[in-house]
Every structure is written in structure tokens, then in C-alpha cells.
């Protein structure tokens, strides 16, 4: 059996260093981010991370269902911007708000750092925010699938993308399905995370890949998706695959 790369963050983080960026780590309580930018921006990143966590923790205190629900939670009014983004993403994807948290935090920190670096990559537990003028390739890890580590998704330069992955067979994701990897791309990192959960939940076997991809591409704001189950892979939308 292959080792799970998510059990040792150092192992998989060593694989996504880009030579043109300086990489650094920022941690706060459970949050552990790996960030690439033109120069180390630890102070700015930590400040943005602390603000994001403060907003999420306040939402949980105000409504415990925000933490525990596996279904969308209606807004109560007065939510902070990050929380509103999570609630909106969860509603579109038909999942609970915390399904969007890793992508939302990665996006919030990444966009804060764009004031200091025009190229930014933020990785939060395997969920990514990327922005810049250079093309990037994101490797796809898929647990024990023979395709794990052999496929990459090529991302064109742009104003910022969320690339988030759920799995029912490895890693930290809460998934009701059995996909080895369920990856979603969206300009909204919170939505990419929530929709990846939706995609992963819908896949119990290789036969579910095609209809699950069709379904998740109907979510407004999702621009591309990929799924791996066993030895099969499917992709739909703005997804350009490349061999690694």
C-alpha cells in the first residue's frame, strides 16, 4: 500500500516548490499554511490568517450549526465577509459551510498577500489558492490509485483560482463517497472547496465519475472538475491534464 502523503505535510509540500518563489510556512492553532510568494511575507500572512480564523470562530459561536451541519445553513445577517462567502458556497454546492473552510481561508490569505507579491500560492491542507502571471501545474494525489502522482492539472495565468480536492480514501477530508480524488477549479476558492466535497460525495465507484462530473459542472461558478476512482479518471470543463 502506498503511504499517505497527507500524513506528512513535509513530504507533499516538498513536491510543489516553484523555483521562482520563496516558500514559507505559517501556522496558527489548527491552521497550517504553506505559501509561495516573491519574498517571505510571514507577518502579513499571519495577520490575514488570524483575521480569517476570528471570523470563522465568531460564526461558530453565534451558530453551532455552522460547524456541524452537512447541509447549507441560512445566513442570520451581519456575518463577516469570509463567513458570507462560505455560506454562499455551501448553498450553491449543497453541503455544509465547513466544507468550504480550507479553500476560503487559503483564498483570504492569498488575496491579502497580492498587495505585496503579484505571484502567490497558498496551500491549506492540500487545498490551493493560486494567482499570478505564470502558468502552474498542480499535481493530483489520489491515494492508492495507480494514477496517483502521475497526473497534473495545468493552470493558465489569471486573477486567482481555487483548486481544491476531496477524497474518500485518504487525507483529512470528510467525504461520504469513495473517490480517490475529487478536484474542482473555481475563481472562488470557497466554492472550489465546497464543490469538491459535493463531487467526492457523489462517487462510490468508477461508474459514478461521469455523472458526478456533469452534476458538479452545473454548480454556478465551477469552471472545471476532475475525478479519480480506482484506475479511472475523468475530467470536464476548463481542465487541462498533463503527465507528470
Nearest residue to 139 (alpha-carbon basis) of 181, 188, 97, 106: 181
Task: Give CA–CA dist 51/176, Å, rounded.
Answer: 31
Taken in order 189, 191, 197, 201, the sign of the CA dihedral is negative
Give the tens place of pLDDT for each residue, 93-140: 999 999 999 999 999 999 999 999 999 999 998 899 999 998 898 888
Q: Which residues contact 64 (CB under 8 A, 6 or more apart)?
A: none
- Within 10 angstroms of residue 61's Cβ, the number of other Cβ atoms is 10
For the record, the C-alpha cell of 83 comes out as: 463567513
Domain ranges, residue 189: 5-243
For the record, the C-alpha cell of 225 comes out as: 472538475
The CATH number assigned to the domain holding 14 equals: 3.10.520.10
pTM beyond 0.75, yes or no = yes
What does the radius of gyration of the chain's CA atoms come to, in whole angstroms?
Answer: 17
**Taking the C-alpha atoms of 93, 131, 83 and 216 in order, what is their torsion angle to the nearest 10 degrees?**
0
Task: Give CA–CA dist 235/188, Å, rounded.
Answer: 19
For the record, the C-alpha cell of 115 comes out as: 498587495
Per-residue pLDDT of the chain (244 residues; tens, 9 = 90+): 344 444 444 444 444 556 789 999 999 999 999 999 999 999 999 999 999 999 999 999 999 999 999 999 999 999 999 999 999 999 999 999 999 999 999 999 999 999 999 999 999 988 999 999 988 988 887 666 656 567 789 998 888 999 999 885 555 656 677 788 899 999 999 999 999 999 999 999 999 999 999 999 999 999 999 999 978 999 999 999 888 8
- List residues bridging with 120 in a β-sheet: 131
Number of structural domains (the chain) is 1
Amino acid at each position: 500500500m502506498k503511504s499517505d502523503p497527507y500524513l506528512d505535510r513535509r513530504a507533499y509540500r516538498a513536491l510543489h516548490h516553484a523555483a521562482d518563489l520563496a516558500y514559507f510556512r505559517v501556522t496558527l492553532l489548527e491552521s497550517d499554511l504553506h505559501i509561495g510568494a516573491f519574498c517571505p511575507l510571514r507577518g502579513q500572512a499571519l495577520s490575514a490568517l488570524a483575521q480569517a480564523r476570528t471570523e470563522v470562530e465568531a460564526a461558530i459561536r453565534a451558530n453551532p450549526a455552522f460547524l456541524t451541519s452537512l447541509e447549507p445553513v441560512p445566513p442570520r445577517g451581519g456575518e463577516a465577509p469570509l463567513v458570507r462567502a462560505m455560506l454562499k458556497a455551501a448553498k450553491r454546492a449543497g453541503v455544509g459551510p465547513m466544507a468550504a473552510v480550507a479553500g476560503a481561508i487559503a483564498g483570504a490569505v492569498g488575496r491579502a498577500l497580492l498587495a505585496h507579491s503579484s505571484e502567490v500560492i497558498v496551500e491549506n491542507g492540500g487545498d490551493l489558492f493560486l494567482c499570478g502571471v505564470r502558468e502552474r501545474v498542480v499535481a493530483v494525489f489520489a491515494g492508492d490509485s495507480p494514477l496517483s502522482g502521475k497526473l497534473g492539472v495545468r493552470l493558465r495565468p489569471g486573477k486567482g483560482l481555487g483548486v481544491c480536492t476531496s477524497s474518500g480514501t485518504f487525507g483529512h477530508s470528510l467525504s461520504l463517497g469513495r473517490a480517490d480524488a475529487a478536484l474542482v477549479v473555481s475563481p472562488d476558492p470557497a466554492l472550489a472547496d465546497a464543490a469538491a466535497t459535493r463531487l467526492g460525495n457523489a462517487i462510490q465507484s468508477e461508474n459514478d465519475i461521469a455523472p458526478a462530473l456533469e452534476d458538479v459542472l452545473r454548480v454556478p461558478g465551477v469552471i472545471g472538475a476532475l475525478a479519480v476512482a480506482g484506475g479511472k479518471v475523468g475530467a470536464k470543463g476548463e481542465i487541462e491534464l498533463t503527465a507528470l
